[in-house]
Structure 1
């Protein structure tokens, strides 16, 4: 599961932004990483997928603190991060 960005060698602009799930590009031509991130969350919910184990806290922070979705209970690590943000 991830977001890919293909850039032209001549410039810094993204040529293509898309989403890969289980090794298959499921969405392409999304133009912006921020939009691809929100689409990835939509796919995770719609397909009832679990976050990748190594990135579960990253996804939790993005979902619950940054995007303010599903404001349920935070894990201990997310609570510590939130308290550091508000210091």
Structure 2
């Protein structure tokens, strides 16, 4: 994911409507209780019908980049649950 990556999203008030946009900001947040990496993602999307408002919470899907590097688990390393 990077600035400019295409994304689709749905907002709670319009669950059957899928919007399209692109990533405009990526900010790493402080680690939470789970100590997992968390990011704040900001999207820009057309809003000709004025259905979207600033700071609406959405469920988003960001399309993976073609030929993007993938992450592989090193041999012999097993995942473990976060405590």
Q: State the TM-score bracket (shorter-chain normalisation).
A: under 0.3
TM-score scaled by length of structure 1:
0.25
Structure with larger Rg = 2
More strand per residue: 1 or 2? 2
More helix per residue: 1 or 2? 1
